[in-house]
Chain A
Amino acid sequence: MKKTAAFLCALLMAVSLLGGCSGNGEEQTPPADEGGEQQVEQLSGTVSTDGSTSMKTVIGALGEAFENANDGVSLSYNPTGSGSGITAVAEGRCDIGLSSRSLKQEEIDQGLTETVLAYDGIAIIVNPENTVTDLSLETIAKIYTGEITNWSEVGGPDSEIVLIGREAGSGTRDGFESITGTEDACLYRQELTSTGDVIAAVASNPNAIGYASLASVDETVVVLSVEGVVPSEETVKDGSYAVQRPFVLVTRTGEQLSAVAEAFFNYATSGEANDIISAAGVVPAN
């Protein structure tokens, strides 16, 4: 399946490249035949990244845009998890490590540098009929682990709380559970497979609580403030909104990246790629 998909993608890219060539050929490079290719210094090679599975969407989108903009480069992404990614970059097994948490002090001491690429803000959503408007991080954790089961316990109507979440493996679920400290302990009533489904399920059930990427929440549901802070691009970025985590690029301190990895790193963190990062549902840091 994956191989076929990859093959189709490659085919599509090849076709679009051909299209691009024939279109540009006349305008940009008049003596295109032999000299053209050598005039521009071209990047080539592979940027290898390794780490956080939650960063799949954003790294995938950045990688695709980067590959499209530069002929002959490719980006490899090995979804192993933040911990393995940090180890991999420390051991020199990849160019850039990906982590969906900040580095610990001992990791920095080990000779690693973190550069925040983006912030992943997760909105806690309820049905518009619900009167609750604010919850603390601790209460949210208690709700999701089944310690609190009725809305009246947190100042809402007397009805059972229905927990809506995402399926195992989802980056949003992983993010939510790691921030609230409820890994593998959430007693979901529904495990849905897309952000849209979560929002629709919460919108249609007055008892429901759910979580979704901040960028994709719409007006059919109410976004709760957490610890009194309303989530927005600003509060996520300045760290005052609690249900958020950084997406970090990890590199080896003081060591020069390869030319192509350097180009990718600069491209991703320069602000040039902010639209792509936002489209992937997270808040760009630069």
Chain B
Amino acid sequence: MKQKSKQIFEKVIHGFFLILGLITVGLVLLITVYLVVSGIPGIVNIGFFDFIFGKQWASTAAEPSFGILPFILTSIYGTAGALVVGVPVGFFTAVYLAKFAKSRTKELVGAAVSLLAGIPSVVYGLVGMMVLVPGIRKVFGLPDGASLLAAMIVLAVMILPSIIKVSLTALEAVPREYEDASLALGATPVETCFRVSVPAAKSGIAAAVVLGVGRAIGEAMAVIMVSGNAPNMPSLFQSVRFLTTAVSSEMSYATTGSLQSQALFSIALVLFFFILLINAALNYFLKRSREG
């Protein structure tokens, strides 16, 4: 009798968890379907090539044009720039923490990295706007510092925590025996680290980078505050607009059903497509890392 009630209890709990899991799946499906349904009309009405490869965005002009090439390129360049700055810093921090740091230092730096991950993006944006943007203006002698460069630097700082943490986990998962064997063969600790540990953890490190890409390309709040937000073709010291900020800066004004609002949904769809690609890459690397 007791056995039976226990079984029922187990089943109820299983069912409950299943429902929770299905809610998550359902939400993803809902968002996907909604984005596709509301994003397609804009692309169709504007024309695929005019939309993706158009260089001019003037959504409220008397003769509006809806070309999002500047946004796509800005998002790609901005993310790439963030990686160029962020990946080396993050990677070497992770190597240092995993292999060389004393436990106290490791604790301290680890706590700082966690804190960095917890700072809201609007705070990054605000600090960027007040410190970084005037700084860039003075250092480079520009009329104004709000630029692609400012966005790259802010994004680089923002992706550091994910890169450090995921790389660190991967490096720490390298079996101790590999390193012992390398040391026993006469390799120095640095040689061991870069010839043995890092190659063994390379899939995990790649996953960390991809995660960083995902974070950078999806960020809106911080970049809107430092990038100037004018729809120009990207250039390092020029004011630029990202895919994310293109949607967020005009969404509240676009009349429902207008071509402008359709175009904004289409931008969101393009962004979603990029995120899907990144997620697929992430899954690929994580799978490889699990298989060793």
Contact = CB atoms under 8 A, between A and B. Distances in A.
A260 to B, nearest CB: 25
A81 to B, nearest CB: 10
A204 B224 CA distance: 16
B60 A168 contact: yes
Nearest to A177: B60
B249 interface: yes
A190 to B, nearest CB: 4
Interface string B129-166: 11001100100000111100000000000000000000
Contact of B239 (A189, A197, A200, A208): A189
B80 interface: no
B129 A205 contact: no
B67 interface: no
Interface string A173-212: 0000000000110001111110001001100110110000
A168 B225 CA distance: 16
- Most chain-B CB neighbours within 10 Å: which of A53, A167, A208? A167
A86 B236 CA distance: 46
B249 A204 contact: no
A105 to B, nearest CB: 24
Contacts of B62: 183-184
B58 interface: yes
B129 A204 contact: yes
A169 interface: yes
B232 to A, nearest CB: 9
A159 interface: yes
Contacts of B250: 167-169
A161 B62 CA distance: 27
B230 interface: yes
Overall SS of chain B's interface: loop
A161 B142 CA distance: 11
Q: Using C-beta atoms within 8 Å of the partner chain, give the interface range for chain A.
A: 20 to 34
Contacts of B129: 197, 200-201, 204
Contacts of A2: 256
B229 A167 contact: yes
A53 B230 contact: no
B230 A201 contact: no
A37 interface: no
Contact of B145 (A53, A184, A205): A205
Interface string A43-64: 0000000000100000000000
Interface string B247-270: 011111111100010000000000
Contact of B249 (A1, A79, A80, A167): A167
A262 interface: no
A160 interface: yes
Interface in B216-260: 224-225, 228-231, 239, 241, 248-256, 260
B256 A162 contact: no
A78 to B, nearest CB: 9
A87 interface: no
B230 A188 contact: yes
> Which 4 pairs, one residue from A and one from B, show the smallest C-beta to C-beta distance?
A169-B253, A160-B143, A168-B60, A190-B228
26 contacts: A80-B255, A162-B143, A162-B144, A167-B249, A167-B250, A168-B58, A168-B59, A168-B250, A169-B59, A169-B60, A169-B253, A170-B253, A188-B239, A189-B144, A189-B146, A189-B239, A191-B230, A191-B249, A192-B229, A193-B229, A200-B129, A201-B146, A204-B133, A205-B134, A205-B144, A208-B144
Given A168-B58, A168-B250, 14 more contacts: A2-B256, A80-B255, A162-B143, A168-B59, A184-B61, A184-B62, A189-B144, A189-B146, A190-B146, A191-B230, A197-B225, A200-B130, A204-B133, A205-B133
